[in-house]
Amino acid sequence: MHEAADIEISRRGILVGGAATVALPAVASAEPGRASSVPQPPRMPIRLEVNGESHSLELDTRTTLLDALREHLHLTGTKKGCDHGQCGACTVIVDGRRINSCLTLAVMHDGEAITTIEGLGTPDRLHPMQAAFIKHDGYQCGYCTPGQICSAVAVLDEIKAGIPSHVTEDIIASIRPTNLEMRERMSGNICRCGAYSNIAEAMAEVLGAEVSGAEVSGESA
């Protein structure tokens, strides 16, 4: 489908080119309009702002943000797990909010600020959450890890912004960033290796470094 769109077009180019060199007159009489009679899926121009860089693309409208990042911008840190919003491996941060990049169309994000795992830190300058995942063994195979880390970074912002969760006992008061809060808020990120307890510990360490005391503001705009 759209993942293969670039390949398909180049292959068609080769086939047409090959036929033309072998039997140009026959092709000219028998094949006019052949390429245009195959309905082409609609495409649209789009500008994606990813990790501070602007990219102009023309994409099949069906292209998800996930496929745009991986197949067109070759930012393969963001992973495709279930492709249905159930596993969280594709989590990226758009305008400060974590979302499933598999369940949104690239054309819906023209000009929005997208942060992927590649934009959080680099091997030389790790994001504090990346460093904490390494320190606490927050992964085994690593496939879900980019999504886990993007989600974890956004979760701490959500707690600081006073956004309540299912396990928040008093939704009017300030939110206590407990281990239970971390686990509930991370339930959209599945880890089949089962590194959950270490992920929660990594998050607690980063939160401890960022927030003094156990309580953060419960106010929200």
Partner 1 sequence: MRPFTYERATSAQDAAAKAARMPGAKFIAGGTNLLDLMKIEVETPTHLIDVNGLGLDRIGPTADGGLRIGALVRNTDLAADMRVRRDYALLSRALVAGASGQLRNKATTAGNLLQRTRCSYFYDTNQPCNKRKPGSGCAAIAGYSRPLGVIGVSEACIATHPSDMAIAMRALDATVETVKPDGTARAIPIADLHRLPGATPQIETTLEKGEFIVGVTLPRPIGGTHIYHKVRDRASYAFALVSIGAILQKDGSGRIAVGGIAPKPWRVEAAEAEMPRGAKAVSSALLAGAKPTQENAFKLTLVERTLGAVMAQARA
Among 103, 126, 131, 211, the residue binding partner 1 under the rule CB under 8 A is 103
**97 is an interface residue for partner 1 by CB under 8 A:** yes
Among 84, 111, 135, 142, the residue binding partner 1 under the rule CB under 8 A is 84
Nearest CB to partner 1, comparing residues 4 and 30: 4
Between CA 207 and CA 136 the distance in angstroms is: 14
Could you tell me which stretch among 12-20, 29-37, 132-140, 181-189 binds partner 1 (CB under 8 A)?
A: 181-189
Instruction: Please report how many Cα atoms fall inside a 13 Å half-sphere around the Cα of residue 168, on the Cβ side.
Output: 18
Tokens of 218: 């419960």
Among 99, 129, 199, 207, the residue binding partner 1 under the rule CB under 8 A is 99
Between CA 207 and CA 135 the distance in angstroms is: 15
Assign residue 51 a region (left: φ > 0; alpha: ψ between -120 and 50; beta: otherwise). left
Least distance CB 112 / partner 1 (angstroms) = 10
Closest-CA residue to 76 (of 84, 67, 63, 85): 67
Could you tell me which stretch among 39-47, 115-123, 132-140, 191-199 binds partner 1 (CB under 8 A)?
A: 39-47
Buried b (16+ CB within 10 A) or exposed e, 111-134: eeebbbbbbbbeeeeebbbbebbe
Least distance CB 104 / partner 1 (angstroms) = 6
Positions in the binding site for partner 1 (CB under 8 A): 1, 39, 41-42, 44, 60-62, 64, 83-85, 88, 91, 97-100, 103-105, 107-108, 151, 154-155, 158, 161-166, 168, 171-172, 183-189, 219-220
